[in-house]
Amino acid sequence: MKKFLILTCMIASVLGMTACSGNKELTEYEQQKMMKARILAESNYVPAIQEIVANYGAAYFDDFTADEISYLIGQTYQIETNGYAFKGALESFEKANEEIGGPGQVIDSTAVIDDDQIIVTVNIQGTKAPATAEIVVSNDMFYALESASLNKVSTMSDSMGKAAMNTLLGMGSVFIVLILISLIISCFNIIPKIQKAFEKKPEEQPSSTTGIEKAVAQIAQQEESTEDDLELIAVIAAAIAASEGATSTDGFVVRSIKRRKAF
């Protein structure tokens, strides 16, 4: 138990030292730089970008080089910046203005120092929705604008709407797949019928065996009838010989037999 308490105290001490090192106090000079960066962002950087977007649009600078953009912005608004970075800032503000309802009003701002940069977050209230502008300037005496972007603040209704849309798309996809599977399964009963309908039945050819059998049957029938006639002739000849008192049928020949018509 004593070892466990010692281990717990050591862990707490390490965590406390880590927290203290993370929350390092800023010097007075750093605080002054953060304050000046906030003032420049609220009073110059954000209003300048909004003014150019409202009057000219981001596409106005498409034919200018980066150096030309830097020179024009520096001469007109006294902002030191990179031309490509400022062009990206204009595009971001122009896209967000469509969502928040045009250039918004600056409310307040906060700033943090991140190594060689000062990141200023400016809260803006548009006519439709609030937004936050992230202004990144150099952490030196020039406060050069390195990047800027404007993003709409997601409200509870926006989050609920996105969640509902995601749910609808997910469930819709599942139902569509299930319907397709059921249609495929139902086709298993139809496909054999279609195949059977398109199959050609082989033409029945007369069997040679059948003709031979018929001929044999006719020959056999003729032989049976011939045998019956011979037996009948023999009987009639014997009767005639008996009626004449002859002992044999050698004296006459029966050539034909005709049935007598009944009267």
200 pLDDT more than 80: no
Distance CA 252, CA 241 (A): 9
Q: What is residue 259's three-state secondary structure?
A: coil
> DSSP per residue over 203-254, as a string?
PPPPPHHHHHHHHHHHHHHHHHHHHHHHHHHHHHHHHHHHHTT-SSSTT---
* Distances, alpha carbon 21 to alpha carbons 13, 119, 152, in Å: 12, 21, 34
- Contact in structure between 215 and 209 (CB atoms under 8 Å): no
In this structure, are residues 62 and 156 in contact, taking their beta carbons and an 8 Å threshold? no
Q: Assess whether pLDDT exceeds 50 at residue 173.
A: yes
* CA atoms of 137 and 143, how far apart (whole Å): 5
* Three-class DSSP category at 188: helix
SS3 128: coil
Mean of pLDDT values over 146-169:
82
Can you give the pTM of this predicted structure?
0.55
What sign for the dihedral angle of Cα 91, 96, 99, 105?
A: negative
- In angstroms, the CA 151 to CA 121 distance is 11
Kindly state the tokens that stand for 210: 């059948």
Distance CA(39)–CA(118), nearest Å, equals 12
Neighbour count for residue 86 (Cβ, 10 Å): 26
Q: Can you give the pLDDT at residue 186?
A: 78
- The pLDDT of residue 5 is 47
Q: Is 29 helix (H, G, I), strand (E, B) or coil?
A: helix
How many whole angstroms separate alpha carbon 113 and alpha carbon 30?
A: 8
Q: What would the pLDDT profile of 51-65 be if each residue is shown by its tens digit?
A: 999 999 999 999 999
Model pLDDT for residues 5-25, shown as the tens digit of each residue: 454 555 655 555 544 444 568
- pLDDT tens column, 67-96: 999 999 999 999 999 999 999 999 999 999
pLDDT of residue 21: 44
The predicted pLDDT at position 253 comes to 67
* Separation CA 127–CA 29 (nearest Å): 37
